[in-house]
Amino acid sequence: QCLLSGSWRSDTGCRMVVSTLGEDGRFSGSYLLGPATGDSEILPVPLEGSQQDAGLVPQPIFSFTVHWRLQAQTTIFLGQCYVGANGEEILHVLWLWREATDSPAEDWKATR
Torsion of CA 41, 46, 58, 97, to 10 degrees: -70
Predicted local distance difference test score (pLDDT) of residue 53: 84
Coil, helix or strand at residue 105? helix
DSSP state of 37: G
Q: In a structure prediction context, what are the per-residue pLDDT tens digits for the chain, which is 112 residues long?
A: 788 889 999 988 889 999 878 889 999 999 998 775 555 566 889 999 999 887 888 899 999 999 997 788 999 999 999 998 898 999 999 999 999 999 999 998 899 8
Cα within 13 Å of Cα(2), Cβ side:
22
Can you identify the CATH homologous superfamily of domain 6-109? Avidin-like (2.40.128.30)
Q: Three-state secondary structure along 54-94?
A: CCCCCCCEEEEEEEECCCCEEEEEEEEEEECCCCCEEEEEE
Predicted local distance difference test score (pLDDT) of residue 41: 65
Give the chain's end-to-end CA distance (angstroms, integer). Answer: 32
Predicted local distance difference test score (pLDDT) of residue 36: 57
Backbone angles phi, psi at 44, to 5 degrees: -70, 145
C-beta separation of 75 from 66 below 8 A? yes
User: Which residue ranges make up each domain of the chain?
Assistant: 6-109
